[in-house]
């Protein structure tokens, strides 16, 4: 930024990026991942109706990005001056570029929500005033969806670019991080949206949309594993500082977070529920929700591990 805003000592002290930033990374990943998945599916199937998954993704995306921005504001040294972020820009700063993207992304996500819930808006008397607005904006719906898809992926990647700028932290300072955050965001965002689609919008567990999404889970998870493997390998074979940072994967409480939270719950949980359990249970609603919770929890553990272990195990 321009030096007037600091994201360091709001709710936490002693770390360049404290826990509110980890929570923001989580929410931003869920928001971008859920909406990107829904729009990919919409374009792939050439859908014109507001499907349960589309509604769920739009709702989750708006709620989570709003909560994520709240975390960022609360972590400012002077939260009441958050408006300065929207006024002062430095195009040489990754943070400023991200703020510009978010400034466009958030209103467009709100607009996508209006499109997604047009039928519900018509049925609620207090919201009928919005109907003419939605109808007038229908003509730009497609370009809005294309723009939001690009921005959703950018929001996922931006969080990786943002923290990878910390050059003195080998785990964090890696070009693989944006790609890892996109993959994990899509994985967790899709899982969260699927659960909401089934529980709130009565999506059939075995619908065509759900089958496509289920089939996409494994390639995305494999991509996540590959990106993590690349980070680990680069640390193992790097200089003394990088090898020292590699200790985070096998020493102390953060190693437990990685192996139990990321690998065990995030990767092993869905794998176990889908392949190692009985066929009847693995296709049940309980297994579906457990698998979704594992994916979301694993993604949160990954964000926490990258941010905290990355700063603690530094040169």
The predicted pLDDT at position 282 comes to 59
Asked whether 306 and 171 are in contact (CB, 8 A), the reply is yes
Per-residue pLDDT of the chain (315 residues; tens, 9 = 90+): 444 444 443 334 445 667 777 788 889 999 999 999 999 999 999 999 999 999 999 999 999 999 988 877 776 655 555 555 555 656 566 666 777 888 899 999 999 999 999 999 999 888 888 899 899 999 999 999 999 999 999 998 887 777 776 666 778 878 898 999 999 999 999 999 999 999 999 999 889 999 999 889 889 999 999 999 999 998 888 888 888 888 889 888 889 999 999 999 999 998 888 776 666 665 788 888 999 999 999 999 998 898 888 877 765
| pLDDT per position as a tens digit, 108-165 | 999 999 999 999 999 988 888 889 989 999 999 999 999 999 999 999 888 777 777 6
The predicted pLDDT at position 77 comes to 57
| pLDDT per position as a tens digit, 13-42 | 445 667 777 788 889 999 999 999 999 999
Biggest alpha carbon–alpha carbon distance for the chain: 65
The predicted pLDDT at position 272 comes to 86
The predicted pLDDT at position 11 comes to 36
Structure-token pair, residue 63: 């709620």
The separation between CA 172 and the C-alpha centre of its own chain, rounded to angstroms, equals 17
| pTM reported for the whole predicted model | 0.86
């Amino acid at each position: 930024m321009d030096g007037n805003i600091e994201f360091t000592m709001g709710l936490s002290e002693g770390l360049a990026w404290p826990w509110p930033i980890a929570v923001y990374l989580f929410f931003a990943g869920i928001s971008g991942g859920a909406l990107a998945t829904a729009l990919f599916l919409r374009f792939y199937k050439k859908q014109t109706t507001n499907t349960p998954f589309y509604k769920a993704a739009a709702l989750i995306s708006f709620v989570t990005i709003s909560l994520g921005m709240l975390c960022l504001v609360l972590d400012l040294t002077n939260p009441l001056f958050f408006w300065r972020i929207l006024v002062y820009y430095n195009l040489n700063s990754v943070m400023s570029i991200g703020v510009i993207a978010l400034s466009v992304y958030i209103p467009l996500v709100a607009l996508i929500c209006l499109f997604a819930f047009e039928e519900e808006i018509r049925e609620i008397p207090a919201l009928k005033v919005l109907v003419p607005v939605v109808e007038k904006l229908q003509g730009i719906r497609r370009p809005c969806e294309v723009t939001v898809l690009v921005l959703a992926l950018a929001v996922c990647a931006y969080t990786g670019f943002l923290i990878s700028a910390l050059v003195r932290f080998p785990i964090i300072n890696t070009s693989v991080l944006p790609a890892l955050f996109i993959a994990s965001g899509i994985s967790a965002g899709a899982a969260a949206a699927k659960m909401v689609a089934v529980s709130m919008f009565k999506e059939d567990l075995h619908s065509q949309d759900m089958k496509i999404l289920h089939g996409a889970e494994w390639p995305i998870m494999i991509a996540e594993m590959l990106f993590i493997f690349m980070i680990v390998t680069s640390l193992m074979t790097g200089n003394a500082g990088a090898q020292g940072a590699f200790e985070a994967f096998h020493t102390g409480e953060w190693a437990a977070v990685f192996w139990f939270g990321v690998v065990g719950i995030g990767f092993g949980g869905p794998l176990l529920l889908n392949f190692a359990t009985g066929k009847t249970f693995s296709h049940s609603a309980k297994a579906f929700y457990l698998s979704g919770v594992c994916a979301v929890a694993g993604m949160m553990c990954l964000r926490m591990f990258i941010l905290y272990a990355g700063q603690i195990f530094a040169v």
